[in-house]
A and B are shown apart, each in its own frame.
Chain A
Amino acid sequence: EVQLVQSGAEVKKPGESLKISCKGSGYSFTSYWIGWVRQMPGKGLEWMGIIYPGDSDTRYSPSFQGQVTISADKSISTAYLQWSSLKASDTAMYYCVRLGYSGYDYDAFDIWGQGTMVTVSS
């Protein structure tokens, strides 16, 4: 079964660092882009960025550039999203997604992780 399994919920204080993970299984991890999506409480989906684990090519949404770091360790089929200094406004559900369908004029995220809830509160 193709799946993405994310790390568990986190509760952190403002200013702390955090790294959450997303482990892929059931497919060739290095052959598909992995993205991250934020959903703040009661709000819509926001695309944060994407990484190709095969060569670590990474693209960020302008809204998130410099705010987070996306990385991957292909040896353990795991992608990461990290913050160096969390803010209360980082409180959200974070989903990792696989870019499973791709053509010259389309693509789509076919597999979603279960989500990781990050709560930042003093």
Chain B
Amino acid sequence: SSELTQDPAVSVALGQTVRITCQGDSLRSYYASWYQQKPGQAPVLVIYGKNNRPSGIPDRFSGSSSGNTASLTITGAQAEDEADYYCNSRDSSGIRVFGGGTKLTVL
């Protein structure tokens, strides 16, 4: 199965824009989904498909994809966005894989 690579840590100033990236060969064929996990909590889906947000996810979260790279963008980061973020995708045989995760710090 394909691997997905994420930067281990990213920081952003309060109110600024941050992009979290995910690289992998499977992303050339399948869109990534993105999950937010806060300490002691189960992950929550924030973006799926081309750029879809589940109900209840703020519109400051958006997704994009180009070639082998998927990106999660937070426009106007808030303190409550500080969390770990994981990408996930699949291959043609239905095998899924998570990226290693990115720890987002809001300064």
Enumerate chain A interface residues (CB-CB to B < 8 A). 35, 37, 44-47, 50, 59, 61-62, 95, 101, 103, 105-110, 112-115
Contacts and interface: CB of A to CB of B under 8 A. Distances in A.
A44 B90 CA distance: 17
Interface in B29-63: 29-31, 33, 35, 37, 42-45, 48-50, 52, 54
B65 to A, nearest CB: 10
B86 A105 contact: no
Majority-rule SS of A interface residues = strand
Contacts of B24: none
Interface of B: 1, 29-31, 33, 35, 37, 42-45, 48-50, 52, 54, 84, 86, 88, 90, 93-101
B29 A105 contact: yes
